[in-house]
Amino acid sequence: MQKVKINNYPMVNPAPVVIAGAEVDGKPNYATIGAFGVVCLAPVFYISLKETHFTTQGIRENGYFSVNIPTADMVRITDYCGMVSGKTTDKANLFNSFYDDAGKAPMISEAPMNFLCKVIQTVPISGFEVFFGEIVLTYIDDNCLTDGRPDPAKINPMVLVGPNYFNIGQLIGNAFKEGVKFKQV
């Protein structure tokens, strides 16, 4: 086996597929996002959105966004949500929306896990805006909990690798426990 150099290609990291939500012009709007992640031990997420997206406009205007975790069963509607823009297609009724009391950003009832995030920092980069959002509220369907904790097997999220959607497959180990077994060998 030999290492070969190929074109620089960043889309190999398995990315959780989420749907970002924002209120735009007084209505809910949603965009499918692969560029999402955790940044530190504090409850802060980042999402990176093209600066021209309709959702981006709503996040800028309101200072809040939601992160919704769709199930693998929602692959078609999730993909569709990432193919059409709220600028030309009304996505307000694509999902059933719910709000917290302050009504800052719409969240998706059909998605088993939902986060409401308050923008604390924005970084522009190469035509995108990276929004860092402090998680202010987290909702989960009660049937997705095991012993009071979110259970990934019950949530059944999707992962994007390149242009392909996968479900998360089997549990293969526990963080900070497998390494102990390695050390003992």
Ligand X SMILES: Cc1cc2nc3c(=O)[nH]c(=O)nc-3n(C[C@H](O)[C@H](O)[C@H](O)COP(=O)(O)O)c2cc1C
Q: Positive or negative CA dihedral for 90, 94, 100, 104?
A: negative
Does 71 bind ligand X (CB under 6 A)? Our answer is no
* Of residues 132 and 151, the one with the C-beta less far from ligand X: 132
Size of interface with ligand X, in residues (CB under 6 A): 21
* Of residues 35 and 136, the one with the C-beta less far from ligand X: 35
Out of 75, 84, 119, 135, the residue judged to bind ligand X by CB under 6 A: 84
Amino acid at 37: G
Out of 21, 55, 66, 97, the residue judged to bind ligand X by CB under 6 A: 55
Query: What is the 3 state secondary structure string of 100-157?
Result: CCCCCCCEECCCCEEEEEEEEEEEEECCEEEEEEEEEEEEECHHHEECCEECHHHHCE
Out of 63, 82, 150, 152, the residue judged to bind ligand X by CB under 6 A: 82
Does 159 bind ligand X (CB under 6 A)? Our answer is no
| Binding piece for ligand X, criterion CB under 6 A, among 53-61, 100-108, 135-143, 177-185 | 53-61
CB 65 within 8 A of CB 18: no
Rounded Cα distance, 37 and 119, in Å: 14
Does 97 bind ligand X (CB under 6 A)? Our answer is no
Does 54 bind ligand X (CB under 6 A)? Our answer is yes
Does 112 bind ligand X (CB under 6 A)? Our answer is no
| Radius of gyration (C-alpha) of the chain in whole angstroms | 18
Does 34 bind ligand X (CB under 6 A)? Our answer is yes
Out of 48, 68, 71, 114, the residue judged to bind ligand X by CB under 6 A: 48
Residue 176, burial from CB neighbour count under 10 angstroms (0-12, 13-18, 19+) = exposed
Does 50 bind ligand X (CB under 6 A)? Our answer is yes
Does 108 bind ligand X (CB under 6 A)? Our answer is no
CB 87 within 8 A of CB 54: yes
Binding positions for ligand X, rule: CB under 6 A? 17, 29, 31-35, 48-50, 53-55, 79, 82-87, 160
